[in-house]
């Protein structure tokens, strides 16, 4: 896409959210990704979700690693704080940031190379710490920015643009997350904004780490015949198993229950997720059932999407640490420094 | 032998994991409590049980407590190292051994006095539990030492009382073992030996502390709230101490909540990432590590440098390269830290010489990191970090306020039209930063990729250079703020001696000894990098200088030649890098040898000489 400045004029008829802001207030700079890149659609979904839940732009911290996907934080919420860090290292940076200030909304953007190869260890440990962070893997099966090498999410048998076949087993972030005790796991498709927006909103409301694996085709290096991460392949194999809706805290939950209204999960902040369409015998709060379902369907080559698993009972990093309610950066220095009298006294132990 | 009071060195050879450390520490602490200047050096292996370990105690009434290589008494409790240990005692010295078994006649030396005490036998007769029999042997030899060295038994018994105040049975066993060794010595040897202890009053304003504990305390007092680390010898005890102090002094008195967070990271890459993330948000954050950790942190250190984010990194240096010798000391990370990361990067370094300076420089490191929005390294080493040192009582200035550097508040932002991250720099070349969540106008995009002075992405040569050139000027400007060197001039000195960190005591002792022989030198201990004008002028005022440091490649000397105007030929290295702490003997021998090689007239028009490496 050409990098031209977006016009700033706002149409008066544009809808406003609770803060009186229009969707334009949640947009970012013009994307410089290839036209048709899946990542841009995820950006659009993020803009929509953040606008809909009415967060103050400057209370958002958007962090990323390196890759085409990791460039996208510049393309949403101009008024947010951004941090485009180093390849694979976003999880620790987000962890440290969150440790210092628990009040911000943390959006981490990563790629399949960023998360499943160079930064795999970091991602796993951020999951274990249950850092309150919306973690989006924009998964295209390749390293886009370095021109199309297979990534660790490439399926066995998938073909590169040059015709080479991948023979190694993929790392599936969803299965990995389930095995690590991740507390919020979803898979979606960049081409399905209707599914992605409510998932993103629920992820923001989640108590801890929210893992989102979003299939996001790379039109330049991985959208050909024989690729299992192309638009066509994903559309043909997607199994939208779980339909969920996000209900913000203040709303009347009953009004939202769908026809085959199944489970509803109350989030830590009082909001709720309503699971409207859930397969028989599926329970998004029962890890074993989720694993069994995924194994059955992924074994058949289906790409199961939806908000797959939620557990609101696990404390996040700060709760485990017994952190104060105020961010650590706001604890006054007088409280942090024990003072000279204490120093004198404690030195009696060093005699 | 003439009586020698409060001036001797002893070495204790043990097997690690047998409980000798507490007996050795007990002796050292008892001498400290007798008011006598003392040092204890633990020369331990990278192992949990079974390998040789040594402990050296040096007592010196004049305060020369660097490592001594001249042992008056060897406590030889490790049969694996007997041969070597016996060789190290100086002529006319003493050797204390366990005479439960006969000593190999091949090991006996005529010029050394052998003191045999049947420790194993005594302990077998007096204790029933097999583990206790082994442990109590150590306390028994401590008892013997009390007798032969004239240590104050009340003080030693008092220390045991304090240590085992809640464990009565253990206290009884320890006291009994102490007595066994003591009484046997009194019955069999001429006590005390010609060299021995006599109570002094040199320590009333001193404490006994290791550098890792002191630095952790410094971080608490500096107001650090986020600490991230990955365990590694010899830095682990720094974070252990930080945790211990936080549990005591950082629980909110009203709510009981933890006003700190310690993150045990998955590796050092993550540890430094966490520090950067926390500091980006405005917390005082630090990590503690050793050389291998610094190697891993390199990538993100460059990010912090380029994106201008504060970070405090404590590097407790150990012997490299690679895994090297984890429990041995060295000053081998100077260059690595000075220029850590790819591309043009340079950092601020602080070099404490002892635990007291570790405490003092910790808040300084946070102040510098925030003032200059950049990583700051505190380079200590295993000798400073893990050995107990006698240092002046730590002082805290109640008027201290953290220097948070140029951070715009909500009110500041309210007043300005538009915030631009890397411009409007002050006289120190520092541009104001904002913290996330403070004010809508403060939002900006932090990136490690090419950026212009407004913080925007760039690939344009002039825009890129503008920022990089300011960073170079900023680093230069920080020279005025790092601690200035310690200089000691001597009338008539005809050359200078430069050193850093833990070499301090040994080098100063060496210069005093050389002065007694008429060899006069000025002394400078650098305490920070970038070097300030004082360093420059010290170099200029001497025809030549020795640079004494503990690494193979003369890293401080390299840094001096790269970062000051000094001609390379003016600096001559004395390098001791085998992994044990420096001794004045290394320095005296090195300087005398080098001076012998230089023809007197040539001193004035100095000739370059090959590097000198000291045999240890
Ligand atoms: C330490 C390091 N090694 C290698 C690179 C080069 N590199 C940049 S992006 C990238 C892969 C990105 O792949 P992915 O995370 O899947 O993002 P995508 O471009 O596909 O969105 C690599 C290998 C780098 N930036 N840093
Ligand atoms: S190379 Fe692929 S991933 Fe990168 S911008 Fe283009 S389409 Fe997107
Ligand atoms: Mg990719």
Query: In terms of residues, how long is chain B?
Result: 616
Tokens read off for B26 = 């007990």
A343 reaches B (C-beta below 8 A):
yes
Q: How confident is the model at residue B104 (pLDDT cuts 50, 70, 90)?
A: confident
Q: Which of B60, B34, B58 is nearest to B201 (CA)?
A: B34
Q: What is the CATH number of the domain that holds A50?
A: 3.40.50.970
Specify whether A109 is located in the same domain as A54: yes
Q: How far is A12 from chain B (nearest CA, A)?
A: 23
Identify the sign of the CA torsion A220, A142, A73, B294: negative
A115 DSSP assignment: I
Asked if residues B67 and B503 have their Cβ atoms less than 8 Å apart, the reply is: no
Smallest Cβ–Cβ distance between B257 and the set A124, A323, A336 belongs to A323
Are A190 and A134 members of one domain? yes
Decide if domain B4-196 falls under CATH 3.30.200.210. Answer: no
Q: Where are the beta strands (DSSP E) in B192-310?
A: 195-196, 206-210, 226-229, 261-264, 285-289
Q: Are A275 and A244 in contact (CB under 8 A)?
A: yes
Number of domains within chain A: 2
CB-based contact, B598 to chain A, within 8 Å = no
Tokens of B511: 């210069």
- Helix H or strand E encompassing B113: strand B113-117
Residue of A nearest to B436 (CA): A81
Classify B486-613 by CATH class.
alpha beta
Distance CA B523, CA B364 (A): 24
Examine residue A347 and state whether it is found in any structural domain, yes or no.
no
B611 Cα to the center of ligand 1, angstroms: 45
Separation between Cα atoms, residue B340 and residue B102, nearest integer Å: 56
* B278/A337 CB distance under 8 A: no
Distances (CA, A) of A132 to A61, A96, A269, A309, B278: 12, 11, 13, 16, 14
- Is the same domain home to A252 and A228? no
| CB–CB contacts below 8 A, A to B | 213
Which chain A residues have a beta carbon less than 8 Å from that of B266? Answer: 92, 121-122, 124-125
Name the residue at shortest CA distance from atom 1 of ligand 1. A87
Tell me the sheet residues that pair with B575: B549, B613
On whether both A189 and A295 belong to a single domain, the answer is: yes
E strands of chain A, at which residues? Answer: 60-64, 81-84, 105-111, 133-139, 142-143, 149-150, 184-189, 209-215, 238-240, 243-247, 264-266, 272-277, 303-310
**How would you class B363 by CB atoms within 10 Å of its CB: exposed for 0-12, middle for 13-18, buried for 19 or more?**
buried
Q: Estimate the crossing angle of helix A173-180 against helix A120-129, to 10 degrees.
A: 40
Q: Does A122 touch chain B (CB under 8 A)?
A: yes
Residue A154 DSSP label: P
Helical H segments across B90-208, by residue range: 119-126, 130-149, 153-163, 168-188
Instruction: Give the Cα separation of B316 and B380 in Å (integer).
Output: 5
- The DSSP code for A80 is S
Q: Looking at the complex, does the CB of residue A332 fall below 8 Å from at least one CB of chain B?
A: no
Pair B279, B306: CB distance under 8 Å: no
Radius of gyration for the alpha carbons in chain B, expressed in angstroms and rounded: 27
- The answer to whether residues A165 and A313 belong to one domain is yes
Task: Inspect the interface and report whether the beta carbons of A79 and B396 lie closer than 8 Å.
Answer: no
CA A26 to chain centre: 17
Using CA coordinates, name the residue in chain A closest to B388.
A350
State pTM to two decimals.
Answer: 0.96
Q: Which contiguous run of DSSP H or E holds residue B472? A: helix B461-477
Q: Whose CA is nearest to atom 8 of ligand 2?
A: A37
Give the residue carrying structure tokens 């009972």: A313
Q: Using CA atoms, how far apart are residues B481 and B406, in angstroms rounded to an integer? A: 15
Which positions ≥6 away from A13 have C-beta within 8 Å? none
- Whether A69 is in the pocket of ligand 1, judged by its Cβ within 6 Å, is yes
H runs (alpha helix) in chain A: 38-52, 68-71, 90-100, 112-113, 120-129, 173-180, 193-205, 231-237, 287-299, 317-321, 333-336, 339-346
Say which residues have a Cβ less than 8 Å from residue A250's Cβ, sequence separation at least 6: none
Q: What is the mean pLDDT of residues B176-187?
A: 97
Q: Nearest chain A Cα to B451, which residue?
A: A84
Quick check: helix, strand or coil at residue B602? Answer: helix
Q: Could you read off the pLDDT of B28-86 as tens digits, one per residue? A: 999 999 999 999 999 999 888 889 999 999 999 999 999 999 999 999 999 999 999 99
> Within this chain, do residues A264 and A303 fall inside the same structural domain, yes or no?
no
Q: Which ligand is nearest to the CA of A221?
A: 2
Domain ranges of chain B: 4-196, 209-392, 410-480, 486-613
Q: Domain range for residue A168?
A: 23-242+279-318
For residue B487, the surrounding DSSP H or E stretch is strand B486-488
Q: A58 and B279 in contact by Cβ < 8 A?
A: no
Is the distance from the beta carbon of residue A284 to the nearest atom of ligand 1 less than 6 Å? no
Question: Is there a domain that residue A102 lies in?
Answer: yes
* Residues sharing a CB contact under 8 Å with residue A118, sequence separation 6 or more, in sequence order: A65, A87, A88
In 3-state terms, what secondary structure has residue A287? helix
For an interface test with A, which of B301, B356, B445, B458 has the most A Cβ atoms less than 10 Å from its Cβ? B445
Nearest chain A residue (CA) to B255 = A324
Residue A297 covered by a domain: yes
In a domain, A225, yes or no: yes
Strands (E), B318-393: 348-350, 375-381, 388-392
Which bin fits B492, alpha (ψ -120 to 50), beta or left (φ > 0)?
left
B608 falls in which pLDDT band (50, 70, 90)?
very low
Nearest-CA residue for ligand 1 atom 10 is: A67
The two beta strands, A133-139 and A105-111, are parallel
- Cβ atoms of B70 and B64 closer than 8 Å: no
**B559 to B217, B342, B346, B474, B571: CA distances (angstroms):** 30, 18, 11, 18, 11
> Is A108 an 8 Å CB contact of chain B?
no
The label of the residue with tokens 């105007």 reads: B565
Residue whose CB lies within 8 A of the most ligand 1 atoms, among A36, A40, A74, A114, for a mutation test:
A114
Q: Is residue A89 less than 8 Å (CB to CB) from chain B? A: yes
Does the beta carbon of A141 sit less than 6 angstroms from any atom of ligand 1?
no
Ligand 1 center–CA B138 separation, angstroms: 58
Cβ of residue B267 closer than 8 Å to a chain A Cβ: yes
Residue B609 has pLDDT above 60, yes or no: no
Are the C-beta atoms of B241 and B217 separated by less than 8 Å? yes
- The verdict on A257 and A115 lying in the same domain is no
Q: Label residue B254 exposed, middle or buried (CB < 10 Å: 0-12, 13-18, 19+).
A: exposed
Option in B252, B279, B394 nearest A324 (CB) = B252
Q: What span, in angstroms and rounded, lies between the C-alpha atoms of B329 and B576?
A: 10
Tokens for B38?
Answer: 């003392």
pLDDT tens digit string along B238-277?
999 999 999 999 999 999 999 999 999 999 999 999 999 9
> Residue A267 domain-assigned?
yes
Based on the domain organization, do A130 and A254 belong to the same domain?
no
Provide the terminal-to-terminal Cα distance of chain A, rounded to the nearest Å: 70
In a domain, A9, yes or no: no
Neighbours of ion ligand 3 (CB under 5 A): A 111-113, 140
Cβ atoms within 10 Å of B49's Cβ, excluding its own: 9
B64: tokens are 């020369």
- Report the candidate in A188, A134, A172 with the shortest Cα–Cα distance to residue A304: A188
Query: What's residue B596's pLDDT?
Result: 87
Per-residue pLDDT of B200-231, as tens digits, reads: 999 999 999 999 999 999 999 999 999 999 99
The answer to whether the CB atoms of B439 and A343 lie below 8 A apart is: no
CA dihedral of A293, A299, A301, A305, whole degrees rounded to 10? 20
Q: What is the pLDDT along chain A (351 residues), one digit of tens a residue?
A: 444 556 556 676 789 999 999 999 999 999 999 999 999 999 999 999 999 999 999 999 999 999 999 999 999 999 999 999 999 999 999 999 999 999 999 999 999 999 999 999 999 999 999 999 999 999 999 999 999 999 999 999 999 999 999 999 999 999 999 999 999 999 999 999 999 999 999 999 999 999 999 999 999 999 999 999 999 999 999 999 999 999 888 765 544 444 444 578 899 888 999 888 889 889 999 999 999 999 999 999 999 999 999 999 999 999 999 999 999 999 999 999 999 999 999 999 999
Report the SS3 class of residue B406: coil
Contact A328 B448 (CB under 8 A): no
Cβ < 6 A, ligand 2 pocket = A 33-34, 37, 39, 68, 140, 144-145, 218-221
User: Would you call A270 an interface residue with chain B, using a CB distance cutoff of 8 Å?
Assistant: no
Q: Do A176 and A272 belong to one domain?
A: no
Residue B147 CA to chain centroid, in angstroms? 33
Class of the CATH-defined domain B209-392: alpha beta
Ligand 2 geometric centre to CA of A40 (Å): 10
- B4-196 and B486-613: identical CATH topology: no
Rg from Cα positions in chain A: 21
Distance from CA of B434 to the nearest CA of A (A): 10
For A55, which residue in chain B has the nearest alpha carbon? B437
Interface test with B, best of A93, A319, A325 (most B CBs within 10 A): A93
The answer to whether the CB of A274 falls within 8 A of the CB of A245 is yes
Structure tokens at A243: 């339909």
Residues A183 and A115 in one domain: yes
Report the residue of chain A nearest B437, measured CA to CA.
A59
Check A81 against B444: CB less than 8 A apart.
Answer: yes
Please, which pLDDT band fits residue B10 given cuts at 50, 70 and 90?
Answer: very high
Backbone angles phi, psi at B135, to 5 degrees: -60, -40
As a whole number of angstroms, the distance between CA A312 and CA A310 comes to 6
Q: Which of A111, A140, A141 to mutate to test the pocket of ligand 2 (most atoms within 8 A of CB)?
A: A140
Q: What are B315's strand-pairing partners?
A: B289, B379
What pLDDT is recorded for position B601? 43
Which residues pair with residue A309 across a beta bridge? Answer: A185
A5 touches chain B (CB under 8 A): no
Determine whether the interchain pair A78/B443 forms a contact, defined as Cβ–Cβ distance below 8 Å.
Answer: yes
Same domain (yes/no): A89, A160: yes
Residue whose C-alpha is closest to residue A182's, from A152, A206, A215, A200: A206
Would you place residue B607 in the very low, low, confident or very high pLDDT band (cuts 50, 70, 90)? Answer: very low
Which are the contacts of B613, defined by CB distance < 8 A and separation ≥ 6?
B552, B575, B577
d(CA A129, CA B248): 24
- Could you tell me the distance, in angstroms and rounded to a whole number, from the CA of residue A74 to the centre of ligand 3? 18
- The answer, yes or no, to whether residue B602 has pLDDT greater than 70, is no
Mean pLDDT of all residues belonging to chain B:
95
Of B335, B231, B387, the closest CA to residue B562 belongs to B335
């Amino acid at each position: 896409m050409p990098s031209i400045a977006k016009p700033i004029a706002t149409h008066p008829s544009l809808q406003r959210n609770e803060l009186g802001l229009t969707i334009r207030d949640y947009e970012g700079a013009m994307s410089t990704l290839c036209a048709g890149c899946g990542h841009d659609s995820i950006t659009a979904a993020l803009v929509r979700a953040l606008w809909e839940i009415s967060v103050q732009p400057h209370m958002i911290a958007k962090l990323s690693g390196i890759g085409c996907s990791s460039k996208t934080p510049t393309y949403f919420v101009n008024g947010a704080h951004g941090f485009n860090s180093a390849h694979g290292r976003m999880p620790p940076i987000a962890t440290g940031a969150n440790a210092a200030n628990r009040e911000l909304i943390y959006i981490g953007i990563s790629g399949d190379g960023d998360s499943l190869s160079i930064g795999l260890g970091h991602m796993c440990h951020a999951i274990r710490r249950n850092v309150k962070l919306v973690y989006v893997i924009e998964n295209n099966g390749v390293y886009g920015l370095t021109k199309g090498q297979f990534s660790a999410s490439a399926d066995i048998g998938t073909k590169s643009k040059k015709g080479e076949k991948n023979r190694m087993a993929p790392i599936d972030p969803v299965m990995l997350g389930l095995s690590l005790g991740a507390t919020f796991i979803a898979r979606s498709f960049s081409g399905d904004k209707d599914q992605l927006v409510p998932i993103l909103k629920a992820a923001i409301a989640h108590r801890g780490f929210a893992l989102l694996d979003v299939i996001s085709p790379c039109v330049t290096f991985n959208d050909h015949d024989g690729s299992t991460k192309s638009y066509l392949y994903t559309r043909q194999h997607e199994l939208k198993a779980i339909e969920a809706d996000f209900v913000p805290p203040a709303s009347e939950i009953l009004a939202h229950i769908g026809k085959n209204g199944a489970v509803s999960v109350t989030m830590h902040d009082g909001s709720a997720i309503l699971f409207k369409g859930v397969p028989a015998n599926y329970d998004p709060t029962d890890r074993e059932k989720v694993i069994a379902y995924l194994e059955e369907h992924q074994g058949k080559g289906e790409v199961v999407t939806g908000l797959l698993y939620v557990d609101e009972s696990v404390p996040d990093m700060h709760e485990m640490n017994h952190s104060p309610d105020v961010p650590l950066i706001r604890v006054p220095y007088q409280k942090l420094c024990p003072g000279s009298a204490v120093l004198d006294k404690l030195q009696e132990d060093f005699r | 032998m003439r009586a020698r009071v409060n001036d001797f060195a002893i070495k204790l050879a043990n097997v690690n994991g047998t409980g000798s450390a507490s007996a050795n520490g007990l002796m050292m602490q008892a001498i400290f409590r007798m008011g006598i200047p003392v040092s204890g050096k633990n020369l331990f292996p990278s192992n949990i049980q079974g390998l040789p370990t040594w402990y050296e105690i040096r007592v010196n009434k004049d305060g020369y407590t660097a490592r001594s290589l001249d042992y008056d008494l060897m406590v030889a409790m490790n049969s694996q190292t007997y041969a070597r240990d016996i060789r190290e005692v100086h002529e006319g010295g003493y050797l204390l051994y366990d005479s439960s078994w006969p000593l190999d006649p091949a090991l006996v030396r005529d010029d050394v006095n052998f003191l045999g005490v049947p420790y194993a036998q005594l302990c077998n007769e007096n204790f029933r539990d097999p583990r206790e029999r082994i442990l109590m042997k150590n306390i028994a030899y401590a008892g013997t030492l009390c007798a032969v060295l004239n240590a104050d038994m009340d003080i030693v018994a008092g220390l045991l009382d304090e240590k085992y105040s809640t464990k009565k049975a253990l206290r009884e066993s320890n006291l009994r073992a102490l007595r066994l060794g003591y009484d046997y010595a009194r019955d069999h040897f001429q006590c005390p030996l010609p060299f021995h202890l006599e109570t002094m009053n040199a320590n009333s304003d001193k404490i006994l502390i290791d550098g890792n504990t002191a630095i952790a305390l410094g971080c608490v007092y500096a107001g650090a709230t986020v600490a991230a680390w990955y365990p590694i010898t010899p830095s682990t005890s720094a974070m252990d101490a930080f945790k211990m102090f936080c549990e005591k002094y950082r629980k909110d008195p009203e709510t009981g909540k933890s006003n700190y967070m310690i993150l045990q990271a998955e590796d050092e890459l993550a540890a430094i990432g966490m520090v950067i993330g926390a500091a980006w948000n405005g917390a005082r954050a630090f990590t503690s590590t050793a050389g291998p950790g610094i190697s891993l942190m390199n990538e993100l250190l460059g990010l912090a440098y380029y994106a201008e984010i504060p970070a405090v990194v404590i590097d407790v240096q150990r012997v490299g390269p690679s895994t090297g010798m984890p429990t041995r000391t060295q000053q081998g990370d100077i260059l690595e830290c000075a220029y850590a990361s790819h591309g043009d990067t340079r950092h601020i370094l602080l070099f404490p010489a002892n635990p007291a300076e570790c405490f003092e420089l910790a808040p300084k490191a946070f102040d510098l990191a925030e003032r200059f929005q950049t990583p700051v390294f505190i380079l200590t080493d295993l000798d400073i970090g893990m050995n107990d040192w006698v240092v002046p009582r730590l002082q805290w200035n109640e008027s201290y306020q953290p220097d948070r550097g140029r951070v715009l508040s909500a009110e500041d932002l309210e007043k300005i039209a538009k915030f631009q991250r890397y411009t409007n720099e002050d006289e120190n070349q520092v541009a104001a930063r904002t913290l996330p969540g403070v004010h809508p106008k403060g939002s900006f995009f932090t990136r490690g990729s090419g950026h212009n002075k407004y913080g925007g992405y760039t690939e344009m040569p002039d825009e890129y250079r503008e920022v990089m050139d300011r960073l170079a000027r900023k680093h230069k400007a920080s020279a005025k703020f790092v601690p200035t060197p310690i200089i000691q001039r001597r009338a008539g000195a005809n050359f200078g001696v430069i050193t850093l960190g833990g070499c301090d005591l040994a080098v100063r002792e060496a210069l005093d000894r050389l002065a007694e022989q008429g060899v006069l030198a000025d002394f400078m201990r650098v305490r920070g990098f970038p070097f300030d004008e004082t360093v420059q002028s010290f170099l200029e005022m001497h025809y030549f200088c020795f640079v004494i440091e503990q690494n193979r490649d003369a890293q401080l000397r390299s840094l001096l030649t790269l970062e000051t105007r000094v001609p390379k030929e003016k600096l001559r290295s004395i390098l001791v890098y085998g992994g044990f702490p420096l001794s004045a003997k290394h320095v005296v021998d090195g300087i005398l040898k080098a001076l012998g090689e230089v023809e007197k007239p040539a001193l004035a028009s100095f000739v370059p000489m090959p590097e000198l490496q000291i045999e240890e």
